[in-house]
Amino acid sequence: MSDASAKLRLENLGKTFRREGSEVEALHGIDLDVPAGEFVSVVGASGCGKSTLLRLVDGLIPATTGTVTLHGRPVRGPGQDRALVFQQDRLLPWRTVARNVGLGLEFHGLSKKECAAKAAELLDLVGLPGFADAYPHELSGGMRQRVNIARALAVDPDVLLMDEPFAALDGQTRELMQGELLRIWAQRAKTVLFVTHQVDEAVYLSDRIVVLTARPGRVRAVLDVTLPRPRTLAVKRSPEFARHVEHVWSLIEGEVRQSMERELLAGRRDETRSREGGEHGRTVG
Ligand SMILES: Nc1ncnc2c1ncn2[C@@H]1O[C@H](COP(=O)(O)OP(=O)(O)OP(=O)(O)O)[C@@H](O)[C@H]1O
C-alpha cells in the first residue's frame, strides 16, 4: 500500500547498467515509502544494488525504470534536499575542517562569516568544538567522518543518504559513531537511508530495515525494528536485539555466503589471469 504522506517514495525503481555491449541489472521493481524523519537501513548481499539505490535517490544516476519522488516531486538530479555520505570521508586536505564543512554553503553563495558560523554550530553538534582550524590530516578516522557528516548536514538536507559511513572505522569508534549518529538524528529529525553490511548496526540504528535479494536487488522484506528509543549500547545485549539480528540474518545468510564464494572465485580467476597476462606482458583486470 502506498502511503500518501511519505516524504520519500520509490516506485517500481530499477537500474540496468549497460557497458561495452553487456548489461548488468542491479535493481528491479523497488517500491518503498519512507515517512519524514524515519531511519531506514538497507541490507543485502554484496553487489545486490545497495549503493546503486542510494545513487538513484541522490539523483547521481538516472533510473532505468520507475521513479524517486521527494515531497511528491520527481528527483531528476542531485539537489540540496539530499546529501550523500560515503565510507571514505572525501575531505579536501588543503581546507581547514571549518572550510570543509562550509564548502556547500560557499557554493550556495553564503558569506565567509555565515559559513564560519554555521560550521562552528555543526562542529559542536558532531562533537568537534575547537577543531575548526585543524586540517583533515590532523584528525583520526572517526573525527574525519564526523566532519563529513557535519558537511552533509550543512546544506540542511531533508534526506541523509549514508553509504556504509562507518565501515572504515575500528570497532570501538564505530560503536561510538553509531551512538553519535542517533543523537544527531534525534536532534535534527532527518530522514535517513543507511546502507550497511552489518546487521547489528542496522538493527541498532533503524526504525525499519529493507532486506534486498541478491542481484538484481528486489525488496525481499521490510522489517519493523520494535526496540524502544532512545537506544543506548545496553540495548545490544537484550534478547530482543538478538532476536531482530537473527531474523534479518536468516533472510540474507544464504545469499551472503554465495556472494562471498563468488567473490573468492572471481578473485582467484583474476589472480590466475593476471599471472598469465604477466607472462605475456599484458595487464588484465
Ligand atoms: N557504473 C556501473 N557500471 C556497471 N555496473 C555497475 C556500475 N555500478 C554498479 N554496477 C554493478 O551493479 C551491481 C550492484 O552494485 P552496487 O555497488 O550497487 O552493489 P552493493 O550492494 O552496494 O555492493 P557492495 O555491498 O559490495 O558495496 C554490481 O553487480 C555492480 O558491479
231 lines ligand 1 (CB under 6 A): no
* The ligand 1 atom nearest the CA atom of 53: 18
- Is residue 179 situated within a structural domain? yes
17 lines ligand 1 (CB under 6 A): yes
- Is residue 165 situated within a structural domain? yes
Encode pLDDT of 245-255 as tens digits.
Answer: 999 999 998 88
Measure the CA–CA gap between 137 and 254, rounded to whole angstroms: 41
Preceding peptide of 129 cis, ω within 30°: no
Angle between helices 141-154 and 171-188 (to 10 degrees): 20
Environment class of residue 183 by beta-carbon count within 10 Å: exposed (0-12), middle (13-18) or buried (19+)? middle
165 lines ligand 1 (CB under 6 A): no
pLDDT tens digits, the chain, 285 residues: what are they?
444 445 899 999 999 999 888 999 999 999 999 999 999 999 999 999 999 999 999 999 999 999 999 999 999 999 989 999 998 888 999 999 999 999 989 988 899 999 999 999 999 999 999 999 999 999 999 999 999 999 999 989 999 999 999 998 899 989 999 999 999 999 988 999 999 999 999 999 999 999 999 999 999 999 999 999 999 989 999 999 999 999 999 999 888 888 888 778 877 766 666 655 543 333 222
Residue nearest to atom 17 of ligand 1 (CA): 51
Tally of domains within the chain? 1
CA atoms within 13 A on the CB side of 51: 9
- 141-153: buried (b, 16+ CB within 10 Å) or exposed (e) per residue? bbbbbbbbbbbbb
Q: Among 19, 24, 86, name the best residue to mutate to test ligand 1's pocket (greatest count of ligand atoms within 8 A of Cβ).
A: 24
24 lines ligand 1 (CB under 6 A): yes
- Is residue 129 situated within a structural domain? no
- Is residue 70 situated within a structural domain? yes
Q: What is the ipTM of this complex?
A: 0.98
191 lines ligand 1 (CB under 6 A): no
- Is residue 270 situated within a structural domain? yes
259 lines ligand 1 (CB under 6 A): no
46 lines ligand 1 (CB under 6 A): yes
CATH number reported for the structural domain that contains residue 164 in this entry: 3.40.50.300
- Is residue 265 situated within a structural domain? yes
Give me ligand 1 centre to Cα 239, in Å: 35
Measure the CA–CA gap between 148 and 143, rounded to whole angstroms: 9
Measure the CA–CA gap between 145 and 148, rounded to whole angstroms: 5
C-alpha cell at 160: 541523509
- Is residue 126 situated within a structural domain? no
Give me ligand 1 centre to Cα 153, in Å: 26
Please give the model's pTM, rounded to 2 decimal places.
0.89
Domain around 40 = 8-81+157-279
- Is residue 123 situated within a structural domain? no
Give me ligand 1 centre to Cα 106, in Å: 32
26 lines ligand 1 (CB under 6 A): yes
Sequence-distant (≥ 6) Cβ neighbours of residue 265 within 8 angstroms = none
